[in-house]
A = this chain, B = another copy of it.
Amino acid sequence: MKKNRATIHDIALKLNITASTVSRALNDNPRISDATKKKVLKVAKQINYQPNHIASALRSGKSKLIGVIVPTANRNFFSSVIRGIEELANSLNYKVIISQSYDDFDKEVQTVEALLNARVDGIIASIAKTTENVDHFQKIIEKGIPLVLFDRITNLLEVSQVVIDDHYGAYQTVDHLIKNGCKRIVHFSSNPRINIYHERKRGYEDALKDNGIEVDPKLITFSNLQLEDGRRIMQEIIDSKIDFDGVFSSSDYSIMGALQVLKENGYKVPEQVKIAGFGNEPFTSFTEPPITTVDQKSIPMGKITAESFFELLNAGSSSPVAKKTILKPELIIRKSSINNS
């Protein structure tokens, strides 16, 4: 019940030295002799000393905490990235606070505020879909706190960013659909303020153009890209009798919804309509037919994001290297998009 936690003073007392010496010994400071260090370490173990990170954080200004903001952890992509970050961070004795914005702008602002108040040493984030401005992120930068963005980035900020080549991924996918016979491809897009959706749309458009197909704005839709959005939009398109023979979605969730609605309306996939998503969520391989999608290289992305972060952290206030890393995504071709001839 009592908090008889051992402190460096207890160690100091036992060894008849001062707390400062103990502190230095524990931190492997060269100013302390090996003999003393050994004794300190021994006593520390003996009395089960556990450093008080709070006290250390207060004095040193370093909390050894990294805040990670994701729209939702409940996504294979994000949780994989988080895992990559965690692995490197933990190995460097940093702890990771995961917070979710739930794709809500206000919540994102609050979260940044909260992390700043918790005095995290830095923040890694992927921006919410509904984010209207990036003042809250700007504030982080102004405070001189390291910030790295991944995947859902923005051009409005001068920070290190890690992304995949969304244009390339989308281009490859749409090109693949066209090569398999599609001529009228619907595209599910989202908030163009978010770079990735903008880039994917550009990839879609460029692939069409390069194949001599005109871009038809009627085929491009904007939504939150959830399953329900996919369902709704697909139904609307079917009802409106717009001619189409393919669907390329910026999200696996909405393409899933589209697939359901297509089947419910008697469309054969891939015979009549070919579809492809983006993200390589595990369930895309479970569906009937399995869905063609784009793998976002989440594990490497997590690793590289963390590396960029620590680079920034170690650089300190000097050389504000705003590095942008671009990974090549991989098109995963499955049955939903190919001619079964």
B50 touches A116 (CB 8 A): yes
B286 touches A260 (CB 8 A): yes
A319 within 8 A of B: no
In Å, the complex CA distance between A317 and B83 comes to 36
B283 touches A53 (CB 8 A): no
Please name the residue on chain B nearest to A55 by beta carbon.
B58
B1 touches A144 (CB 8 A): yes
Query: Smallest Cβ distance from A224 to chain B, in angstroms?
Result: 16
In Å, the complex CA distance between A99 and B51 comes to 20
A114 touches B100 (CB 8 A): no
Query: Smallest Cβ distance from A99 to chain B, in angstroms?
Result: 8
A119 touches B74 (CB 8 A): no
Query: Smallest Cβ distance from A7 to chain B, in angstroms?
Result: 12
In Å, the complex CA distance between A87 and B287 comes to 33
Chain A contacts with B in 62-97, Cβ cutoff 8 A: 63, 65, 72-76, 79-80, 82-83, 86, 95-97
Chain A contacts with B in 113-157, Cβ cutoff 8 A: 114, 116-119, 143-144
Query: Smallest Cβ distance from A51 to chain B, in angstroms?
Result: 7
How many copies of this chain are found per oligomer? 2
A98 within 8 A of B: yes
A271 within 8 A of B: no
With contact pairs A98-B98, A114-B95, A119-B52 given, residues A73 and B63 touching in the complex (Cβ less than 8 Å): no
Query: Smallest Cβ distance from A176 to chain B, in angstroms?
Result: 23
Please name the residue on chain B nearest to A93 by beta carbon.
B114
A53 touches B287 (CB 8 A): no
- For the complex, count residues of A whose C-beta is within 8 A of B: 47
A54 within 8 A of B: yes
Please name the residue on chain B nearest to A260 by beta carbon.
B286
A300 within 8 A of B: no
Query: Smallest Cβ distance from A251 to chain B, in angstroms?
Result: 14
A256 within 8 A of B: yes
CB neighbours (8 Å) of A256 from chain B are 286
CB neighbours (8 Å) of A227 from chain B are 282
Query: Smallest Cβ distance from A26 to chain B, in angstroms?
Result: 13
B74 touches A79 (CB 8 A): yes
In Å, the complex CA distance between A50 and B83 comes to 31
Query: Smallest Cβ distance from A291 to chain B, in angstroms?
Result: 10
A31 within 8 A of B: no
Query: Smallest Cβ distance from A37 to chain B, in angstroms?
Result: 21
Query: A interface vs B, CB < 8 Å?
Result: 1-3, 50-55, 57-58, 61, 63, 65, 72-76, 79-80, 82-83, 86, 95-100, 102, 114, 116-119, 143-144, 227, 256, 260, 282-283, 286-288, 317
13 A-B pairs whose Cβ atoms sit less than 8 Å apart in the complex: A54-B58, A72-B79, A73-B74, A73-B79, A74-B76, A74-B80, A95-B97, A95-B114, A97-B97, A98-B99, A227-B282, A283-B286, A286-B287
Extra 15 A-B pairs, beta carbons < 8 Å, given A83-B100, A95-B97, A283-B283 = A3-B144, A50-B116, A50-B117, A53-B117, A54-B57, A54-B63, A54-B118, A58-B58, A73-B73, A73-B82, A74-B80, A97-B97, A227-B282, A286-B286, A287-B287
